[in-house]
Amino acid sequence: WSVTDNDGNTTTQTQTITVEDNTPPVLVGVPADATVECDAIPAPAVVTATDNCDTTLTVSYSETTNTVNDGVGTIIREWSVTDNDGNTTTQT
């Protein structure tokens, strides 16, 4: 902003706004833990994400552990998302 008086004296002031994104995205649709029969293992859920700043999020999925042998064991599935500012959310 600038202002000049009748004698030609000018004063200028500026404002700097620094925009940050410190809020991680939110995963939507991660299923709760479950106990199932060996012939009823569910397919991986389709998980989405929302973010306060980034509208182009990609959710990554991986099966980090699968110890199912002879019909018993544990499967650990992991979903992760990172926004444009590097904020990450991971759920299993």
pLDDT digits (tens, 9 = 90+) for 30-74: 999 999 999 999 999 999 999 999 999 999 999 999 999 998 999
Alpha-carbon dihedral angle through residues 53, 59, 44, 62, given to the nearest 10 degrees: -140
Within-domain flag for 37: yes
Region 5-34 average pLDDT? 97
Number of domains, the chain: 1
pLDDT at position 71, please?
Answer: 87
- CA nearest to 22, candidates 89, 90, 86, 75: 86
Within-domain flag for 7: no
- CA nearest to 87, candidates 63, 61, 52, 41: 52
Write out the residue range of the structural domain in which residue 40 sits: 21-92
Percent of the chain at pLDDT above 70?
100
Within-domain flag for 53: yes
Q: Would you tell me how many other CB atoms lie within 10 Å of the CB of residue 55? A: 9
Which residue's entry shows tokens 């998302």?
Answer: 81
Within-domain flag for 72: yes
pLDDT at position 85, please?
Answer: 95
Within-domain flag for 3: no
